[in-house]
Each structure stands twice: as C-alpha cells, then as structure tokens.
Amino acid sequence: MKRMLTGLITGLCLLLGGCSWKDASDLSPVTAGAITRENGQYLLTAEVAIPSADSASPDSVIVSGKASGIPQAIDQTGAGLDAQLYWSHARVLLLDKTLLRDGIRDCIQSLTHSSEVRPAVRLCAVRNTDAASLLDSESTSGDPAGFALGDSISYAIRQSQTPDMPLYRMADRMETAGIDPVLPAVSLKGTQAVLSGSALFSGDVLYGWLDEQQTGILSILLADGDTAAIYDTDTRYQLSNIRTEIAAKTDKKPHITVIVQTDVACEMDVQAQQAARCLQEQSCMVISALQQAGCDALGFGRAWQREDADSWKQAGTDAWQTVPVTVHVTCHAVQSAEGGSR
C-alpha cells in the first residue's frame, strides 16, 4: 500500500509539474511510450524514469515488450523488471508508421479500454523515422527525451502551434460521423525529437500531412490554444482570446461558414484588419488542403448533419469535401503589454 501511494504521489507531481525529478521517489514511472506493429504483433517501447537524488534530471532506461494485443504487450514490457511500471503516468504515446499506414482503430480501442493508460495521454504520429528511436534522442533540458517532448507538446498546444489530441478525443472522433482526427506529427531533427506539422486522418487511416505553418492555422481554427501568432510576409500578429464557430446551411445548396473572432495586439484598427485578412486567406488554404486530403478535422460533416440529417445522408458522407466554405474573420485591436503591436 505504501509503495502504491508513493507511486501515485510521484505521478501527480510529474503530471502537474509541481515536483522536480529529484523530489520523486525511487519508483520508475513510464513517462512516454512508442507503439509499433510488426508481423501482426504490437511492440511497445517505454521510457522508464529512474529519479536520482544527485541530479535534477532523472536517469532513464528503455524497455520493450511484444505481444498480439496491447494489454499483453503492456504486461510484457515490464516482465523481468524488479519494479511495477506505471503506464498511467505516460505523457505521450508515439504511433509508428507501421500503425498509421494500416489503420489505428484496433490500437486506439485497446488503449481506450486499458486500465493502465490515462484517457488524457497525448498521441503523436511519427514521420520519417521509427517511433522507438525518438525515445533514444537527446533533449536540450537534460530530461528524458519522451518527457521533454511532452513539455514541448504542451507548450505548442497553448501557443496554437499543434492540435491537442489526447486518447479520449482521438477515440471519439474515430467513432463519430462527420468529424476526423488529426494528430501532432513528430520527427527526428539531428539528434532531437521535434514537432513536424500534423497527420491527417480519414476515419482511422492516415491520408496526408500538413506542414508547421498549416498546422498552426488549423490549431487556430480548432481553438485549442490560449494564444497564437500568424505571419504576413515579415509582419507578425499576436492573437489571443480565439473563438471559432462552424455552421452549415442547406436551405438552397449546402454551404459551410467558419467564423473566427480573436483579439490582436496592435495599435490601429487598420492593422487588425490586415491581420484578419491574413488569417482569412491562410484559413481558406488550410481548409482546401483538408478537403483535398479527405480529413474532416473541423467537423463540417457533423455541422451539416446537425443542420439537416436527411440531406447529409442523401449527399453521402464524403460530400463535405466539395461543399463551398466561407471564412469570416474579425480581429479586435488591443494593446499589448508593451503598449503597441508585436
């Protein structure tokens, strides 16, 4: 009981950011994991932290397990270790291309039903490298690579640089008609794991990728973050208080309207108008990319279905890809902390 209680306290400290590594106990929580599929079996690789009393950063070891199902692979990952692995403390799970290319429904369902994995663990799609290799990469903070990546993803979400797609939201989008998942993408740059755009899905199958700039605009449209920045050539506009609304009209012909309202740090209304024009143009380009890829990340189909389920069924579930979309952006000028535009 004492060991379990200590592990719980350790996990809460790490998750909430209130404890440094040197404050943690001698337990070894899983801080990140990678999932690969090989010859019909799942290979789970775990980054296991070993807190050190002599350092603010922990040591870490990489362990793995293989089995035909996710629950069995989780059990095999900790087999032979003189410790209980706490998967519920994992901050991020990296999904390998071997999963993405064949569909991830079974994997997501197994993770959702597992009592070992938190529903709020964040998922990432790995591109241009193997998922497990990212856990062997370096971090500038000195923390284990997976733990540091979790910090980077949390920061990027707050800054509207990448979408927020925890396990529970991924599962919900896969099972809900009229909306598709989109995952942060991670790759290896030099010796470090870095965010690298986003992965677009239709249902549970990978259909394409967005680059970093496109992903930032998509994140604004998803309204997951607290703030954002957009760029018009060399001009940077700092956004905050982002609100979006998506509506469908079917009275004459189906039509989607996207409404974005946000504050922008600037001194004059003309600058706010320029920011609105920039965001409107870039939003239209990203929406066109989503329609071409067949990824309904913004839920156009769901909005249409709510407005008129009969016409949505009659048109077909892929009809949203050719429906006209109008984007309205309103930016309200507010002074920054420095008293002007940024």
Task: Give residue-wise pLDDT tens across range 164-222.
Answer: 999 999 999 999 989 999 999 999 999 999 999 999 999 999 999 999 999 999 999 99
Q: Which pLDDT band holds residue 54 (cuts at 50, 70, 90)?
A: low
pLDDT at residue 27 greater than cutoff 60: no
Q: Which pLDDT band holds residue 58 (cuts at 50, 70, 90)?
A: low
pLDDT at residue 7 greater than cutoff 50: no
Q: Which pLDDT band holds residue 304 (cuts at 50, 70, 90)?
A: very high
Between CA 135 and CA 145 the distance in angstroms is 6
Between CA 117 and CA 115 the distance in angstroms is 6
- pTM, whole model, 2 decimals? 0.87
Task: Give residue-wise pLDDT tens across range 226-279.
Answer: 999 999 988 999 999 999 999 999 888 899 999 999 999 998 999 999 999 999
Tell me the two tokens of residue 9: 């306290």
Q: Are 121 and 108 a contacting pair, CB within 8 Å? A: no
Domain 224-334: give its CATH architecture.
2-Layer Sandwich (3.30)
- Domain boundaries in the chain? 2-210, 224-334
Q: Which pLDDT band holds residue 52 (cuts at 50, 70, 90)?
A: low
DSSP state of 40: T
CB within 8 A of 297, min separation 6: which ones?
A: 163, 179, 180, 181, 182, 200, 218, 222, 290
